[in-house]
Structure 1
Amino acid sequence: MDELTRQATRQWTLAQPAVSAFIASVVRDFRDRDDVLQNVAVAVIESFHAYDPGSPFIPWAIGIARRQVGLYLRRRGRDPLVFDDDAVACLAVAFHAEAQDRSAALDYLQDCLGSLEGRAKKLIGLRYREDLKPAAIASQTDMTANSVAKALQRVRDHLRECIDRKALEANVQ
């Protein structure tokens, strides 16, 4: 596999859930959704050479999905429950905005995780990096499983508040 195809595959793997959700919002039949999603994947790989790495990938992929959905809708033109082009465009804009929000939230999460210290950092690492359940964490930390679960909930609440605060600060600027 050449490097361009490898990069395209990596980007597509990250974008696929958002693109799939966009397609599902327009295409009712699940078999048709799968077909459209496959067509989008092929189109993304085939046209990846035209992608500008300086711009966000997900909106670019949703643009390709929008064209593929448009082709699908034109083929299904007699169906009275098919969205028109304007509705599909509005959905594409909404999914683009949602993808940007999620991307920003992940950036904020990284910052907030970096600010954790001590026991909170250790518990989050054991739970999410090591994929341990509270009972297993309890045996490593001299805590009860119940106290681990409560401590993890407090840390998650702290992270959620930190993300919300950073998002608010970004919107003010």
Structure 2
Amino acid sequence: MDTAIKYSEDGSTRYVTNIESGEILHEHKKQEVWVQDGEQVYVHKPKKAKARKKTIHFIKLHRINWRGIIRNNLLTTPELALLTSLLAFLDWESNYIIDDETKQPFNESSLAKAIHCDRRNLHTLLKSLERKGFLLIEKQGRGKPNRFLLNPNIAVFGECVKDATEHDKFNDVEYRPKSPIKP
């Protein structure tokens, strides 16, 4: 079935409209082009840029800093294993450790379940990572769960960490990266 269309002009604009629905199917702009005999005019329609979806599932690991952590033996094997496990739970363009399903920051109990780790052992490792400057444990107050923030000089999920204050929270920590990331 063919669609019934009509053409209408308004100044230098021509509209191609669906008669039944009134929907504008095309809009054309009038252009003047001077050509010589034997010349032809070609119209190039640039493709519309596709909106970039937030489906990138790669973590940017700062290689120089990560290599420095390993070469200088800054972490024990269990601490390194935990730090590597936490990378899987980074928030998009933020370095909070979150639950992918609820999109809420992990507390210690839910994090222990997610990475299949004993809670007491996890607590000890988290405190050690915090003391060394690789992780920040944000205390929310009495009766509220803590939130965990990974040092952005190590890794980021997305283009960059959008909130510069997340960088600033690691200004006064023990860990000094070989190549600090600028917010």
User: Scaled by the length of structure 1, what TM-score is found?
Assistant: 0.26
- Whichever structure has more strand as a proportion of its residues is 2
Q: Which one has a bigger Cα radius of gyration?
A: 2
TM-score by length of 2: 0.25
More helix as a share of residues: 1
